[in-house]
Copies of this chain bind each other. A is one copy, B any other.
Amino acid sequence: MSNRNRLNQQIRFIVEIDKLKQIVRQSWLTDGSRRENSVEHSWHLAMMAMVLAEHANNPDIDMFRVIKMVLIHDIVEIDAGDTFLYDQENTESKRDREIAAADRIFALLPADQEAAFRALWEEFEARNTRTAKFAYALDRLQPMLHNVITKGKAWQTHGITISQVIDKNRPMEEGSAILWEYISGLLDEAVEQGYIAE
């Protein structure tokens, strides 16, 4: 493949992923003015990785890899859409929809980069490595933080209870016990304030 073809493929991918800016999530901006999209969420996780790295259970993990992982982790939503964490029905079909999306979207890249991006995404999804576990912890922490700050806006819209929040988010402890402990304290306060149902 010529260099020019390679660059054309790369640019095509870069243009394609612009669509992720249109995928709206359930989380609200902290000022409650609108829901955020998956690109905004991904950038925020990358910033959290930069700032909160020292709180990983294993602080010598490769933070560059964590950041690449969170930057790309939602790209499949361009085709598969965002699936709300507490949406049991759509969670069942999520994996199949996302694999089809990964097949199509990452294939826009030259083969070596397709393989690298696919590997990053699969590692995030499998959550077996320390890197992926910390990336996952950030992915769980950010929407809870937004929910606490907006007085439970997304939780209340969907009638989510504290036990659902704890069940779904506790696994982040495997990536960062400190951040789980921190957000647990905020969750207790949120229950007290009535931001989330018991």
Interface residues on A, range: 35 or more
- Determine which of B19, B39, B52, B55 lies in contact with A39 in the assembled complex, contact meaning CB atoms within 8 Å: B39
Question: Interface readout for A1-22 with B: 1 if CB under 8 Å, 0 if not?
Answer: 0000001001101110111011
Among A63-71, A96-104, A154-162, the one that faces the other chain is A63-71
Question: In the complex, are the beta carbons of B36 and A21 less than 8 A apart?
Answer: yes
Q: What is the predominant secondary structure among interface residues of chain A facing chain B?
A: helix
- Residues on B with C-beta less than 8 A from A178 are 7
Among A40-48, A78-86, A87-95, the one that faces the other chain is A40-48
Nearest chain B CB to A191 CB, angstrom units: 19
Known contacts A11-B145, A15-B145; is A50 also within 8 Å of B68 by CB? yes
- Determine which of B15, B44, B46, B64 lies in contact with A18 in the assembled complex, contact meaning CB atoms within 8 Å: B44
A-B contact pairs, 15 of them (CB 8 A): A7-B178, A10-B52, A13-B51, A14-B51, A17-B47, A18-B29, A18-B30, A18-B31, A21-B40, A40-B43, A43-B46, A46-B67, A46-B71, A51-B113, A67-B67
